Amino acid sequence: MSRIGKKPVELPNGVTATVSGQTVEVKGPKGTRSFTATDDVTIALDGNVVTVTPRGTSKRARQQWGMARSMVENLATGVSQGFKKELEIQGVGYRAAMQGNVLKLSLGYSHEVNFEVPAGVTVTAPKQTEIVVEGIDQQLVGQVAANIRDWKRPEPYKGKGIRYKGEFVFRKEGKKK
């Protein structure tokens, strides 16, 4: 029994959903998103509540049950509130700035890193040492944040690099004489 799959998804105020076959389309104040489930689950809409039930008791049906329910909930959250990832830059001389649709990063390389922001995501740099990635697609927001972080991951000796806000970086002791 899927503990996640059993819970119905209640749509927030201002969010509407339509179900046609295996496709769920959710509209809200921030935009429109859709998800097509596999044939292992049945998706039903009753008023402002979406329920997902498995077809059969196979392992794949049970796996898809919880996953499909989570996807529908993420659609509803994305079009109503949106998703946000915050990054911090630590290191002397390390900074970030937005210039049009390009994030310019100074990360201690001999050149400046230009990161082209993909469509569907907004990236802002409120301070030189902070980057905020926002959007309605949770997967895309997380992927863009991970791609930015990959330019200079935090290193364990001084902690310099790009990290998620609140991320703990395990620090190592340096060489002894």
The domains of the chain are located at 3-80, 83-164
Tell me what pLDDT residue 177 has.
79
Tell me what pLDDT residue 2 has.
73
Tell me what pLDDT residue 3 has.
85
Residues 6+ apart with CB under 8 A from 93: 106, 108
CATH topology of domain 3-80: Outer Surface Protein A; domain 3 (3.90.930)
Residues 6+ apart with CB under 8 A from 20: none
Residue 101 Ramachandran class (φ > 0 left, ψ -120 to 50 alpha, else beta)? alpha
Tell me what pLDDT residue 176 has.
84
pLDDT in tens, the chain (177 residues): 678 889 999 999 999 999 999 999 999 999 999 999 999 999 999 989 999 999 999 999 999 999 999 999 999 999 999 999 999 999 999 999 999 999 999 999 999 999 999 999 999 999 999 999 999 999 999 999 999 999 999 999 998 999 999 999 999 998 887
Do the two domains 3-80 and 83-164 of this chain adopt the same fold?
Answer: yes
CATH 3.90.930.12: does it fit domain 83-164?
A: yes
CA–chain centroid gap for 50, Å, is 22
CA-angle at 70, arms to 69 and 76, nearest 5°: 95
pTM: 0.88
Within 10 Å of residue 128's Cβ, how many Cβ atoms? 12
